[in-house]
């Protein structure tokens, strides 16, 4: 009964919002994914980070713990993915990013919000921030076989988290007018992420079903096991443990497909993994969440 309740109350609402974007794409309605991506990346997410963290009353140590957990989870996933791909004799630059970097934004943030409330969302943003930096830094480096530190420094998210940490540690507040504007803009982020996810999935195609299912299961089940292992190693419990396990268990991020397409890394193969891991997560996420709720 608990798993069914979680499915109906937490997981299905996320997929229903994403379904709006999917249906929009299938009906060929006007939609500019570049504009939405930029709006979320440059405006919405930085505002959400500043607004949520500055109002959360979380201690900097709690956010630091989430950041450390994110780093440990990603490097563990990187190791697991490397071993699996070596065994299967698959190219690292094609599949390793998708096995390492999960959809901690489009799906992770709304799921943790619905499952754990505003306090869970604030912790989840700490995890998501580091995950995004690693995805755009290390993930893009694996796909392109070239690392550029300047690409990370140019991300508005970096400066948003720095400002949020200054506000949290000093107790300072932004002017009320700016705070309210950031709250409005930050509120756009989760819905836009989900609609954009659905739209993107509608445009992707599965190239290899068998390989995609195998690698997707490694991403989901491996991520779940890694989340629990990292949580245990750091002595996490309650909300913190729930957020880490949930975020670590997310399907492959859509950005992995974008990087594959950009650098010519068999993008249809990566697209298949993004789609299949997202669909399979509908089956596994209620069970994953039932272990931490």
Domain that holds residue 268: 2-290
Query: 2 is written with which tokens?
Result: 């608990």
Domain tally, the chain: 1
Beta bridge partners of 102: 252
Task: Tell me how many degrees the CA angle 156-162-166 measures, rounded to the nearest 5.
Answer: 145
CB contact at 8 A, 270 and 257: yes
pLDDT in single tens digits along all 293 residues of the chain: 466 777 677 788 878 888 898 899 899 998 887 788 778 878 888 888 888 777 777 777 888 899 899 999 999 999 999 999 999 999 888 889 889 999 888 788 888 988 898 888 889 988 988 888 888 777 777 777 776 667 677 778 778 888 888 887 888 888 999 989 988 998 888 788 788 878 888 887 777 788 889 999 999 999 999 999 999 999 999 999 999 999 999 999 877 777 776 677 777 787 788 888 888 998 998 999 999 98
Three-state secondary structure call for residue 207: coil
Residue 220: CATH number of its domain: 1.20.1530.20
CB contact at 8 A, 103 and 251: yes
Three-state secondary structure call for residue 226: helix
What pLDDT score was predicted for residue 18?
84
Q: Taking the alpha carbons of 211, 213, 219, 224 in that order, is the dihedral positive or negative?
A: negative
What pLDDT score was predicted for residue 59?
76
């Amino acid at each position: 009964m608990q798993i069914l309740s979680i499915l109906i109350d937490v997981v299905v609402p996320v997929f229903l919002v994403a379904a709006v974007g999917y249906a929009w794409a299938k009906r060929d309605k006007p939609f500019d994914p570049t504009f939405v991506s930029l709006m979320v990346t440059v405006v919405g997410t930085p505002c959400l980070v500043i607004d949520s963290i500055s109002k959360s009353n979380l201690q900097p140590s709690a956010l630091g713990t989430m950041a450390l957990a994110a780093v440990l989870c990603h490097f563990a996933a990187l190791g697991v993915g490397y071993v699996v791909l070596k065994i299967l004799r698959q190219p690292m630059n094609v599949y390793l990013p998708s096995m390492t970097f999960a959809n901690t934004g489009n799906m992770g943030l709304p799921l943790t919000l619905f499952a754990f409330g505003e306090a869970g969302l604030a912790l989840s943003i700490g995890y998501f921030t580091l995950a995004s930096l690693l995805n755009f830094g290390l993930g893009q480096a694996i796909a392109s076989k070239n690392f550029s530190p300047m690409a990370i420094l140019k991300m508005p998210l970096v400066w948003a988290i720095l400002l949020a940490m200054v506000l949290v540690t000093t107790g300072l507040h932004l002017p009320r007018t700016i705070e309210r504007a950031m709250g409005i803009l930050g509120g756009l982020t989760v819905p836009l992420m989900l609609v954009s996810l659905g739209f993107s999935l509608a445009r992707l195609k599965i190239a290899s079903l068998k390989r995609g299912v195998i690698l997707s299961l490694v991403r989901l089940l491996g991520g779940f096991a890694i989340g629990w292992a990292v949580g245990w190693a750091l002595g996490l419990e309650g909300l913190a443990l729930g957020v880490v396990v949930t975020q670590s268990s997310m399907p492959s991020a859509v950005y992995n497909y974008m990087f594959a397409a950009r650098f010519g890394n068999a993008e249809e193969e990566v697209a298949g993994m993004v789609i299949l891991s997202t669909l399979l997560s509908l089956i596994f996420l209620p069970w994953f969440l039932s272990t931490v709720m």
